[in-house]
Structure formats: structure tokens, C-alpha cells
Structure 1
């Protein structure tokens, strides 16, 4: 079995999916475990609700399994998976017919052991909450999911220059809000 800790690389994800497509159930299980933390983090930052993020995570993982034959092995798995997660979030938002409210500071979960200090985390969450959704999402995909600009553009269904512009705008806005000491976080 491959290592499924948070340091699992994108190449590992691709290899696990290929093995899963070949019938290796353990590899598919390992892939799902490896996807849980980064996808939950991404979905939580989009919806600002841990219960909804967990539901969307489960829907995303089920779709990854049921639609795995539609993944093109000649392309990276990561953008395919994040596109599924994004679509699950958008479907949820349409179903609920509610505008996603920006998180109030008291609704942000407490940091877990080993995370950045709570005041920094709180400041970052508040600053992220001030960004409009497409800009926040582009920033999260680029800096938290570590996707390329091309992958961000594909997921958001926008041109690459627009993805770059959104991320650049987010970084500048976050620098303005957080100060230069957080600029490289």
C-alpha cells in the first residue's frame, strides 16, 4: 500500500487511480483516504460550514469512484477531482437557493494541533472571507490545493490570464488586509 498521509503527491494520486482502474480495490481506498483532507479543506473554505463540507466531500468521493472510468489517465488526476468537488459545491448552492454567506469569526472552527497559531488562522480566515467567491476560490485552488494556473483556469472554466488576475488580486488584497508580514504565507 502507498503512503496516504497528507504528503502524498499528485503522482501518487495518479498511480493510485490507475491501480484502482486496473481493479486494485486497496489502491482505490488509499486514494480516497489521501483525497479526504485536501478536499475537505477546499470545500470548507468554499462553504464555511463543516457539516456541509463533509457532505460535499462524501458526494465528491462517491463521484470519483463511480465516474472513475471517465478520467483520462493521460491527464493529471488532481484537476479532475477538484472540478468534481467544485461542481458538488455549485450544485449544493443551487439546490439550497441561498447565497453563500461569508463566515462570521465565531463560526470558524478552532485550529487543530500543529496548525498555525490561532490568531494568524483567524486573521487569514477573516481576510479570505472578504474576497468575492470566484477570487477566493482561485486563490484557494492555487495556494492551498497547489494547482497550476492552467488547472485553476480549467476548474473555474475561465481563461488562464483571468485565473492569474484573480489570484494576483487575492494576494494583493490579502497583503493589504494582513500586512506584509503575512505576504508569503
Structure 2
């Protein structure tokens, strides 16, 4: 009964009531989303997005369930939408990787495992590697392009190369050097 009073007040614009409802529901929502995402940071981001959506749609809440249940339903829909977008993005990326491979092969260019491995890296690692080792930009230039510190660029390039070498079964001292581990293309 108490929750209904808070909801009614929140719908009338009482920000204290809305804050109270969120404060009461937030821990349950985050724990639920952590079980879905298996990632605390992602769960907290999704919880924030859920709260924003709930504020936008507060007047649509009919009170047929607990407020926390309504938040969980919003969070679940947002999570499913996020996964659908990711799936489409992954399919798009795979399609373009196949297209690049076909173009390279049709022009008698090498499409080695390295390029395939690059395609598997996260963007934050792949982009600096390509800019550094395929296009020859300096670390500070890449940092400016990406809006990150030069040290972060170096770290990402190193981490990405280490990941590729591990995937290819090479150790740190394998073919190439850390300065130029990727064939120029």
C-alpha cells in the first residue's frame, strides 16, 4: 500500500517520491541485470538506462505489479534489444570481413590468418593496431585521432598484438617484432 502512495506522488511530479522508488528498487534491478549480463559494469549501465526509460514512461505504469517488477520488465526489454543490436552488428561485421577476404583473394592478394585474427579483436584494440602497423601513424597521432592518451594507444596496440599472437600460437618472441609484428599491407 505504501508503494502505491509513492508511485502516485511520483506521477504528480514529486521528485522525492521518484527517488525513493528508485532507491528501493535499484539493488534488486542491478542484481537481476548482473545475472543476465554476467558483467557488473554492463548491468549498472543497463540499470541506469532502465531508470531513464522508467522516468519517461512513469505515467504508463498502471500499478498491476510491483514497481520493481515493472523496472525488471523494462530492463529485460532493453537487454534483449541490446543483444539484437549486437547480433546485427556482429553479422554486419562478419559480412564485411567475408567481402574483404573475397576482394583480396580475387585480386590475388594474401588473406592470411593475421587479417582474420584482426577481425576478431574488439574495435578498441583493432583500430590502433591498423592505424599503427598498416598505415604507419605515430602513437601520439593515433591518440589524437581516437581522443585517448598516447600511453593508452601503446597499451592497446601491445594487448591486441599479444592477443593475436596467442591466437596464432606464437609467443612474444615469435615471428616479427613488437615494433612491427604485422606485415605491411
Which TM-score tier does this pair reach, normalised by the shorter chain? 0.3 to 0.5
Q: State the structure with bigger RCO (CA 8 A, min sep 6), 1 or 2.
A: 1
Structure of larger gyration radius = 2
User: With structure 1 as the length reference, what TM-score do the two structures score?
Assistant: 0.43
User: With structure 2 as the length reference, what TM-score do the two structures score?
Assistant: 0.43
Question: Which is helix-richer, 1 or 2?
Answer: 2
